[in-house]
Each structure stands twice: as C-alpha cells, then as structure tokens.
Amino acid sequence: MKVIGLAGRPGSGKSAVASGLAKRPGVEWVDLDRLAWEVYAPGTPGFARIVAAFGEGIVARDGRIDRVELGRIVFRDPRARDKLERIVHPTLNERLSHLMKEHEEQGTEILIVEGALIASSPYVDRSAYDVVIWLEAPEDIRRERLAAVGRGEQASRGRVIAPSDGAIVIDATGPIEEVAARVWEAIAKV
C-alpha cells in the first residue's frame, strides 16, 4: 500500500483533492483534522490534557473544545502551538498507525492522509509516508476557496506552515480537477 501525505495551507485544496481522488478504485482518504477531533473529544484523555493546558475558556457551551478559540491561541503563539501538538500528536500518530494497518489488511492500494501539518510539524512521523505532497496556492485563491465553504476567515489566521524537505510541491492554482490530476501524476511516480 502506498501512503501519501497531502498537506498545504488552509484553502490550498487538500480536502477537495483528497475526496476526489478517494473516488478512484483502491484509493481511501483519512482526514487528520477529523481524526484529531476524535483525539480531543469530550471524555477523552486528550480533552482533559488540552483543557488543563489551555484553561476552561476553550470549552464551548456544548462541552466540546471550541476549535476557533483554541486556534486563536495556538496560531498566535508558537509555544502554545507546540504545547498543543505535543499533547495531540502522540495519540494521533498511534490512531493513524492503527488505521493504516486496517487499510492495508482491507486491500487499500493507496491511502491519502490529508492534514495541514503533515509537512511541517516536528511531531508528525513522516517516515510513515511514501511521499508527502504539498499543495501551494496564493493567498487570494485560498481565501476564495475558503469563503466558498464559509471559512474565509481561516485563510491567513496566523498559521505559519511550510513544506518539509523532500515534499513534492504542486501548484494548486486552477480548477480542483486539474490540481487533482497533477497530484495523481505525482502519486503514479511513487
């Protein structure tokens, strides 16, 4: 099984590309953001550790972590972001490893793991990936894409992320179908 890391800034097209490619036979997609939400769901050890680290102010009225508030904290302060990553990533890496084994046992040919921090966080185990692909798009395009899904404020919310050494950088301008075709070409070469 090929394991492909798909990374990029918010609005670069990661989710749209991954979901489109996952429609191909033998291709599956794991969204690391959604997996991380499970790691810090109410009642989990991750939830308790995050609240202990950042205070009750990050708990929303519904009892879940207020991701917008937590984002305001961690994307303005590199030390806070590092603290959050040290809390979340060990469990996230473990859960992802388990999912990878499940997909391999089920006969998945290509597993696309999508997440903004795959290419930049020191806590991500990049050795688990056959290749990391970074989608690069200018801020105006990223803002437009995010606005189209009601998340325009996230385009440049203080996130400073960049591709790691060895990542394949793909131009993510143009229609998503074209971007997906460029990503598929890169995957075929792995």
pLDDT value for 120: 78
Mean pLDDT of 124-130: 89
Looking at this protein, which amino acid is placed at residue 125? D
According to DSSP, residue 164 is labeled P
Torsion of CA 21, 181, 157, 75, to 10 degrees: 60
Distance (Å, rounded) from C-alpha 38 to C-alpha 163?
25
**pLDDT at 165 > cutoff 80:** no
Q: Which helix (H) or strand (E) holds 97?
A: helix 78-105
Query: What does the chain come to in residues?
Result: 190
Task: Work out the pLDDT band at 41, boundaries 50, 70, 90.
Answer: very high
Q: Mean per-residue pLDDT for 19-24? A: 97
Tokens of 46: 């991750």
| Predicted confidence band of residue 162 (pLDDT cuts 50, 70, 90) | low
CATH class of 2-188: alpha beta
Rounded to an integer, the average pLDDT of 18-36 is 96
Tokens of 106: 């089920």
Structure tokens, 73: 């904290």
Look at residue 27 and tell me whether its pLDDT is greater than 70: yes
Q: What is the pLDDT of residues 59-86, one digit of tens each?
A: 999 999 998 899 899 988 999 999 999 9
The model scores a pTM over 0.95: no
Domain boundaries, the chain: 2-188
Confidence class for position 161, pLDDT limits 50, 70, 90? low
Strand ranges across the sheet with 131-136: 27-31, 110-114, 2-8, 131-136, 168-171
Give percent of the chain with pLDDT exceeding 70. 92
DSSP 8-state secondary structure symbol assigned to residue 167: P
Which pLDDT belongs to residue 158? 47
Query: Residue 99: what pLDDT?
Result: 96
